[in-house]
Each structure stands twice: as C-alpha cells, then as structure tokens.
Amino acid sequence: MNPPPGPPAANAPPPLYSFRTPQYQGYAVEFSPFFENRLAVASAANFGIVGNGRLWILDMPPQPGALAPQTHFDTQDGLYDLAWSELNEFQLVTGSGDGSIRLWDTTLTEFPIAGWHEHAREVFSVHWNQVAKDSFASASWDSSIKIWSPSHPSSLATLTGHTECVYAATWSPSAATTLASGSGDRTLRVWDTRHPTAPTASVRAHAHDVLSVDWDKYRPYILYTASADRDVSIWDARRLDGPVAHAGSHRFPARRVKASPHVPGRAASVAYDMTASVWDVAIDAVAPVQAPMAGGAVAGVSRHVWMSGVHTEFVLGCDWSLFHRGRLATCGWDGLVAVHQLPPPIA
C-alpha cells in the first residue's frame, strides 16, 4: 500500500497574528481553554540541544497584527511541550529537556508553583485530562508515561512497555481513563490507566517513529498519528490491526497532529518540511467495525484542504482555538508564532 503524494504548494494567506520569540525556537503552542484570545508557547534556546527554555504567554489583540506578550517564564533547560490546566484558568504545565515537569501560574512572577522530577530523560509531551480534570500525563524519552495530579507530590502511576522514546501521550476527550501513546518503537498504544501494567491495544503503526497522537473530538474511537515516515494516518482504537485511512503525507517527517474541535474528521499537521496542513477524512467510524479489509486496504477519502508555508524552519507545534472556528496556531524553529484563520467555507 503506497501512501498518497505530499501536499501541493502552500495556498494560505498571511497569518492573522504573529510573534517572534527572539533567541528561542518554538516547540509547542496551545490556546487557553478559558480565555478566547490567549495562547502559550514552549520554546528552547539553541534548538533545544543545550541551554535554557522560555514559556511565553501571548494575547491576540482585537485587531489582527502582532501578538501581545503578557509575561514569560525562564527555565534552566529547554521546554518541549506545555498543557493548560483544565481546573485553573491561570495555570499550565511544561515538560523540559532535563526530565522535569513544572506547574506555572500566569498571575505570579518568575517561579513555578510546583515541580516534579521523576523522569530520567527528556519530557517530550504533557497533556491535561479533559474529562478527569484533576490529572495530566507526561511522556518521556526514558520510555515511560506517568500520570500526575497537580496537588500530589509524586506521580500517581507509571505506564511502561514502550521500548524506545515516548514522544506523545494524549488523553481521550470522552473517556477519563483512556490514553493513547506514540513511540520511537514505531507503535501506537492505547491504555486504560486503571490497569497500567499493560496497554489494552498496540500496533506497529508506522515505518518510523510515531511522533504525535490525537483523538477525534466527535468520534470517540478515532485516533490520528503523525510519524517520521511522513504520514498522517487514522486509526480505530477498537481494532488496531491497521489504519482505517491515511490523511496524507508531508515531504519530511510529520511532527505533530491535532484534531479539530469543530469539524469531525478534520486534523491539522505540521512537519519538518516547514509547512502546516489541514486534512479532511471522510470515514464511517460510528458503525461497528467489521472484519479487516483484504490486503490491508484502508477505507475513507482524504482531502487536503489548506496549507501554509509561512515558516522558514521546522514547524513543531500547532493547536486549534476552541473559541474561534477555523483558527490555528503554529510555531517552529524559525522563532515564528503564527495564528492562521482558515477561510470559509472550509473553516
């Protein structure tokens, strides 16, 4: 089975808002789930290889143009990911290159309000549980996933089984104890955190590292993966024996994928080809899964609906706004934070 060709040339207008993170390269960006015009950016100096990090809090002013910096927090090592709290509108967590996790409050200055350091290597992913809102997960290059509570001094559980770096661990938006992970061992795994000793399902999902995982917000069993093999694929968690569709392929490794909060079957992906893309995949994921299709064929029709080429370096972070339909933020190694508005009718 051959993946579809890479996306066409960029067709997006200039971003609605932008900001430069001087001397820092962006790794992750996320809109606030509480404030409609606020977003945060996790960044690292020297491309995250060595040096410190900075967490930026930015606001979108009423008129398009430059994002307005509200505050920032400096760290001793690069920041690779962040997640806004689902409990407190002013708090968020970050994952760092030194294996630490920190909880920040944007109303305070300089220092984190809590911190944990159980991972032995880089924390590459943090994700807040949107159902059981008193917990979040971290994924590390030490091959483990940990479950945390912001009020508890140590981790609540550790999930082991991956044999290489874990790049992503993402909670289901509809099930409080369900988590999906992607790893350098090329597998996609689904976990029930009530039984952390082994995954409930696992599949060798890609030819290379699985760098990102996300859940469809309208179809509770559907997962998206982005891989170093360039592909963005779609899976049904009830039957992890092969993808149910391919969204498409980038020209270089696909770094992150995020499902739309407004449109079923829509996902954004960013990649080392310096682009951001939006894909629509039409598949019937509501009906019970039937037997696997012969020859490993996949169901579903993919449509590449939008692409931006404003970045001049690797694009590593992206996120959809919950409040503004069709609004997508991206960040990358060029230090650019861009907020795009997808035009109608595809927004």
Q: pLDDT tens per residue, the chain (347 residues)?
A: 344 444 444 567 899 999 999 899 999 999 999 999 999 999 999 999 989 999 999 999 999 999 999 999 999 999 999 999 999 999 999 999 999 999 999 999 779 999 999 999 999 999 999 999 999 999 999 999 999 999 999 999 999 999 999 999 999 999 999 999 999 999 999 999 999 999 999 999 999 999 999 999 999 999 999 999 999 999 999 999 999 999 999 999 999 999 999 999 999 999 999 999 999 998 764 433 443 433 344 456 789 999 999 999 999 999 999 999 999 999 999 999 999 999 887 76
CATH 2.130.10.10 fits 17-279+297-341, yes or no: yes
Each domain of the chain, given as residue ranges in start order, spans 17-279+297-341
DSSP characters over 61-123 = -SSSEE-EEEEEEEESS-EEEEEE-SS-TTEEEEEETTS-EEEEETTS-SS-SEEE---SS-E
Q: What is the pTM of this model?
A: 0.93
Which of 115, 207, 123 lies closest to 168 in space, CA to CA?
123
Greatest alpha-carbon span in the chain: 59
DSSP characters over 160-178 = ---SS-EEEEEE-SS-TTE
The string over 281-318, giving b where at least 16 C-beta atoms fall within 10 Å of a residue's C-beta and e elsewhere, is: bebebeeeeeeeeeeeebbbebebbbbbbbbeebbbbb
DSSP characters over 186-215 = SEEEEEETTSTTS-SEEEE--SS-EEEEEE
Task: Give me the residues paired with residue 68 across strands.
Answer: 59
d(CA 42, CA 255) in angstroms, rounded, equals: 15
d(CA 313, CA 332) in angstroms, rounded, equals: 6
Phi, psi of 2, deg, nearest 5? -95, 135
Phi, psi of 46, deg, nearest 5? 55, 40
Task: Give me the residues paired with residue 59 across strands.
Answer: 38, 68
Q: Using an 8 Å Cβ cutoff, are 34 and 40 in contact? A: no
Q: Using an 8 Å Cβ cutoff, are 260 and 320 in contact? A: yes
Cα dihedral: 108, 67, 39, 82 (round 10):
-80
